[in-house]
């Protein structure tokens, strides 16, 4: 099959284009790992609930739902069904919301841990500087992860959108 035939595959002849195939496989891997991670996170959060920050289980549920929707959407698009695109977009938006909720939840948990060291006698000046640096580094890392996740989700939505013409009802 020539490159031109590969590029035109799926334009009315019922074949899935190579680009859509690659996107779906990448989504199967990423969302499949997300579902497994979400399940393990739920088990861990419930088992260690007293140590998990408030809202930790909610974040796990949002992440699991987002990964499940993206995986279901990719399976539908693998079969060239247009409804899969909307499921994928919904899962991606839920993933973005979940990552923002997660960053806010864990930022407040980091701040709470940081302030708990303020009362240690004899170490006030050291712990204030160290905690402030650690807190800002961790918080910056969290928000960089959120930004990276948003970029990846938007990129995949745009790439799937470019292949939407190959999807049928």
**Could you report the per-residue pLDDT of 27-78, keeping only the tens digit for each?**
999 999 999 998 988 887 767 666 666 667 788 899 999 999 999 999 999 9
Q: Which residues pair with 32 in a beta bridge?
A: none
Is the pTM for the entire model greater than 0.95?
no
Q: Which residues pair with 168 in a beta bridge?
A: 81
| Helix axis angle, 18-47 to 124-162, nearest 10° | 150
Q: What is the mean pLDDT of residues 119-148?
A: 73
Confidence bin at 8 (pLDDT 50/70/90) = very low
- Cβ neighbours for 11, distance < 8 A, ≥ 6 positions apart: 165, 166
Segments making up each domain of the chain, as ranges: 3-166
- Cβ neighbours for 157, distance < 8 A, ≥ 6 positions apart: 88, 89, 92
Regarding predicted confidence, which is higher, 100 or 3?
Answer: 100
Q: Which residue has the tokens 């007293």?
A: 50
DSSP letter at 117 equals: T
Phi then psi dihedrals of residue 154, to 5 deg: -65, -40
Most confident of 22-26, 96-100, 108-112: 22-26
pLDDT for 41: 82
pLDDT tens profile 77-101: 999 999 999 999 999 999 999 999 8
Distance CA 10, CA 83 (A): 17
Q: What is the mean pLDDT of residues 145-164?
A: 96
């Amino acid at each position: 099959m020539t490159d031109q035939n590969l590029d035109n595959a799926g334009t009315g002849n019922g074949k899935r284009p190579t680009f859509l195939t690659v996107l779906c496989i990448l989504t199967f891997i990423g969302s499949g790992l997300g579902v497994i991670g979400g399940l393990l996170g739920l088990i861990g959060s419930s088992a260690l609930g007293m140590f998990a920050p408030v809202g930790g289980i909610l974040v796990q549920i949002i992440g699991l739902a987002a990964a499940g929707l993206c995986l279901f959407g990719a399976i539908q698009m693998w079969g060239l069904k247009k409804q899969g695109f909307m499921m994928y977009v919904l899962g991606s938006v839920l993933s973005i919301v979940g990552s923002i909720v997660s960053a806010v939840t864990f930022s407040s948990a980091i701040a709470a841990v940081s302030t708990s060291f303020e009362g240690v006698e004899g170490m006030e000046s050291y712990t204030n500087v160290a905690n402030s640096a650690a807190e800002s580094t961790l918080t910056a890392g969290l928000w960089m992860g959120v930004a990276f996740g948003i970029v990846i989700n938007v990129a995949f939505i745009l790439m799937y959108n470019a292949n939407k013409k190959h999807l049928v009802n």
